[in-house]
Amino acid sequence: MENLSLSASMEDYLEAIFHIVAEKRVARGKDIAASLRVHKSSVTAALRNLAENKLINYAPYDVVTLTPQGAALAQDVVWRHEALLNFFVQVLTIEEHLAEEVACRMEHALPRLIGDRLILFCDFLEVCPLTGKKWILGFQHFCNGDLTQKNCEHCLSLCLEDVTKNGLEVG
């Protein structure tokens, strides 16, 4: 099981099944096809593959559920997806629909260490007095090309006010 290497497509199927089961308790081929926007015959082939690898419980024309191993792999894909999506939206201020699309493609290659660091970085931004929402807003202005020396000075003074007001030390 440790050496099982799934294609991006198979991970997408596990992720779709995970979300459908979370909503409806079981998944059906038509639900999976609709979720992934693929033909039902593609779903059948994928389900057979996942069942052969003991990642799902499946029989033709029956409901689909995840095995414990399948659920663990699906949760890992979902975790990677959410780590990327949150970073893109919260830190890079990317529009949600684009962030979602890119997270879907990148989740298959994201190593655990980098995913952990993305999450820690987002957490850091929430608690560090020199960053936070104002800092991200400044980054958004920078991306839009409207960041000026005057805006930087204003932002810095607001950050220093926050630090002073909250009794936090700088540097």
Q: Express each pLDDT in 105-162 by its tens digit.
A: 999 999 999 999 999 888 888 777 666 677 777 777 777 777 666 667 776 777 777 7
Amino acid residing at 34: A
In this prediction the pTM is 0.78
DSSP per-residue letters across 58-73: --TTS-BEE-HHHHHH
Phi (first) and psi of residue 139, to 5 degrees: -65, -40
Determine the Cα–Cα distance for residues 79 and 74; give it in Å rounded to an integer.
Answer: 9
Q: What is the pLDDT of residues 54-93, one digit of tens each?
A: 999 999 889 999 999 999 999 999 999 999 999 999 889 8
Instruction: Judge residue 45's burial from the number of C-beta atoms within 10 Å of its C-beta, 0-12 exposed, 13-18 middle, 19 or more buried.
Output: exposed
For residue 87, what is the DSSP state?
Answer: I
How far is the C-alpha of 1 from the C-alpha of 24, rounded, in Å?
27
Those residues whose C-beta lies under 8 Å from the C-beta of residue 44, and which sit 6 or more positions away, are: 29, 60
